[in-house]
Structure 1
Amino acid sequence: MPKDNLKDKLDGNELDLSLNNLEAVPVKELAAIPKATHLDVSCNLLITLPDNFCNLTHLVKVDLSKNKLTQLPAEFGKLENLQHLDLLGNQLTTLPESFSLLRKLKWLDLKDNPLVDGLKKNAGDCLDEKQCRACAQRILLYMKELSAEFERKRQKKLKEKRDKEAKLQAKEDQETKRKQAEKKAEKDRKKQEEKLRRSQQREEEPSTGEEQGQGDAAKTEKKATKKDKTGRFPISL
């Protein structure tokens, strides 16, 4: 939808795009008109809202009633200035967790949606101004409690995951130490075997000194038994 056409529909700070058979919200064009703080896109053919719809933080009042919305964007809570929200007659069963961040929300209509029991019970009827304001208060409180519960479950799962990883790491460290100990033991065993082999080798083979001594003794004995020229054995002194 051209931006010029949107400006033609602008009345003060109110932009009326209802009854236009819209299948998508013209977010880019809306972002260029920050003056339009009140947006009416009721009675169209919207099934979903694009994620960047949540960037329209200038919106104060939004009418999404009588569409076919089955869910809201996960970051819907980024619409920090939203005070008035009409979701009458859609196909919503739940609200995003971030809904609890709509701290300025003062008016909410969730009638004629197939809400889950918790939301349905807290939404109430919203048949007049007072009931719609009460609906906003109860739903915000309920979503905050729900968000806190979700966070507790996330933290619990995170702790369980960390504990599991820590046990696995401890097991891996233990296995690594065992392998290192086995490797060291094998290395020490081979060193001991080598030491023993060398020791046995030294015992089996005479030393150089002993061999020299045995050779000298043999020479002396041979010399002692050799006759001189007179035919007599030399006398050893």
Structure 2
Amino acid sequence: MSKSSKALNLKDKLSGNEMDLSLCNLSEVPVKELAQLPKATVMDLSCNNIICLSPEFCSLTHLVKLDLSKNQLTCLPDEFGNLVNLQHLDLFNNKLMTLPVSFSQLRSLKWLDLKDNPLEPTLAKAAGDCLDEKQCKLCASKVLQHMREIQEEVDHAREKRLLREKELEKKKEAKQREREAREREARKREKAEEKERRRQEYQAQMAAVAAKEQQKKKNEEKKKRNGQAAADKKAAVEPASKPRRSLIGLMFKLLLLLMLGLAGAVAACRLTDLQKEPACVPINVAVDDGLAWAKVQGGVVRQLAQNLSSAAKELLESTSKS
């Protein structure tokens, strides 16, 4: 609010239900102060320097007649449609090119003046000339219809946008579900592969254990067979060797008995009176011959020993001299 508007005493400007703030050099509207005067349903803000209206201005829903002519307005707030009780609106000689889409919500509007504004062509065509009461009423009707069409287009565009966003969201959700399904399938497949791998490892371990047990059994059976074969061989060898040992022993015993018999016969023939018997004569002769041969052999051995001793002595002497 400008300094001049701050100096205003709004109660002095109020007459009945009419608030006259024209020609007050206002650049802003004192919304807070006006909101405290709800009985001021008719407001004249013409011939000021107002460039724009604040969104808070649209909270003055008690307004029925509003005069904003001969200001510097370039636009109206988007919430302007909240002034649902507004019936008379004068926007003559401003700088408006368009109206907010919410303007279509002013269903109580019966009178409208948009002359001397640089309106865009379609809005200017709908507004008409507004040179008298009838034309201003017609302007209100046509502009409302025009803004409703724009509102419908905006709503339709918004619906299309929302539908498109919804479809995009659905596609996004579908892709998300598909991706999650693929991930679940991949996890399921990985789990199945891991389970199969573990099962194969377990089977391989069991097969290795079984093969080891089988090899162990084979080795035990082989040992048993080898032991049995050795036992059988031993059993087969023992009966064959036993008679051999028995025969050798028997022959040794017979030889021993024969030698004992011969010794007994020699002793009997040499030491008893039986030496003159004809049977002992050859035995005594054989004994005498044996003793003579042994004596001769003893002399030969002694001579051989002497020769060996002499040869050794000579060898030692020659070795020591060399």
TM bin, normalised by shorter chain, reads 0.7 to 0.9
Residue 209 of structure 1, CA deviation: 6.7
- Superposed displacement of residue 121, structure 1: 0.5
Residue 151 of structure 1 is aligned with which of 152, 155, 169?
155
Offset, 1:203: 3.7
Query: Who is 1:172 aligned against?
Result: 176
Q: Which moved more, 1:133-142 or 1:183-192?
A: 183-192
1:11 to 15, 18, 22: 15
| Counterpart in the other structure of 2:51 | 47
Distance 1:3 1:144, change over 3 A: farther
Of the candidates 123, 127, 146, which is equivalent to residue 123 of structure 1? 127
Which residue type is aligned with residue 145 of structure 2? L
How far did residue 171 of structure 1 move? 2.0
Q: Please report how far the alpha carbon of residue 119 of structure 1 lies from its aligned counterpart in structure 2 after TM superposition.
A: 1.1
Q: Please state how far the C-alpha of 1:232 moved relative to its aligned partner.
A: 5.6
Letter paired with 1:28: K
Paired amino acid for 1:121: K
Q: Matched residue pairs, number?
A: 232
Higher normalized helix content (fraction of residues): 2
Q: How far is the alpha carbon of 1:172 from its aligned partner?
A: 2.6
Worse-matched range after superposition: 2-11 or 97-106: 2-11
Task: Determine the structure 2 residue equivalent to 1:222.
Answer: 227
Question: Could you list the runs of 5+ residues in structure 1 that have no partner in the other structure?
Answer: none
Partner of 2:70: 66
**Secondary structure of 1:112's aligned partner:** coil
- Does 1 or 2 have the higher relative contact order (CA < 8 Å, sep 6+)? 1
Which residue, 36, 39, 51 being the options, matches 2:40? 36
SS in 1 for 2:50: coil
* Residue 13 of structure 1, CA deviation: 1.3
Separation in structure 2 between the aligned mates of residue 69 and residue 137 of structure 1, nearest angstrom: 22
Instruction: State the partner residue of 1:79.
Output: 83
Letter in 2 for 1:218: K
CA RMSD across the alignment: 2.5
Task: Answer whether contact 1:88 1:111 (CA < 8 A) is retained.
Answer: yes
**CA shift at 1:134, angstroms?**
1.0
Q: State the distance in 1 between where 2:82 and 2:205 align.
A: 85
Q: Distance in 2 between matches of 1:69 and 1:232?
A: 141
Residue aligning to 2:116 = 112
Question: Does the Cα contact within 8 Å between 1:66 and 1:88 map onto a contact in 2?
Answer: yes
Could you tell me whether the CA contact under 8 Å between 1:68 and 1:91 is conserved in 2? yes
Q: Which has the larger radius of gyration?
A: 2
8 Å contact kept, 1:37–1:60: yes
Question: Structure 1: how far apart are the matches of 2:204 and 2:193?
Answer: 16
1:88 aligns with 2:92: yes
Deviation at 1:111, TM superposition (A): 0.3
Q: Give the distance between the partners of 2:203 and 2:143, measured in 1 at CA.
A: 88
- Local SS of the residue matching 1:94: coil
TM-score (norm 2): 0.66
Residues 186-225 of structure 1 show CA distances to partners (whole Å, capped at 9, x for unaligned) of: 3323333333344344444525476357526634752563
SS at match of 2:71: coil
Look up the equivalent residue of 2:33 and give its one-letter code: E
Q: Which residue, out of 88, 99, 103, partners 2:107? A: 103
Question: Structure 2 unaligned runs (5+)?
Answer: 241-322
Counterparts of 2:106 and 2:169 in 1: how far apart (Å)?
37
| TM-score, normalization by structure 1 | 0.87
CA distance in 2, matches of 1:200, 1:27: 89
> What is the one-letter code of the residue matched to 1:189?
E
Q: Is the 8 A contact 1:57 1:80 kept in 2?
A: yes
CA displacement at 1:60 relative to structure 2: 0.9
1:2–1:29 Cα contact (<8 Å) kept:
no
Q: Percent identity?
A: 50
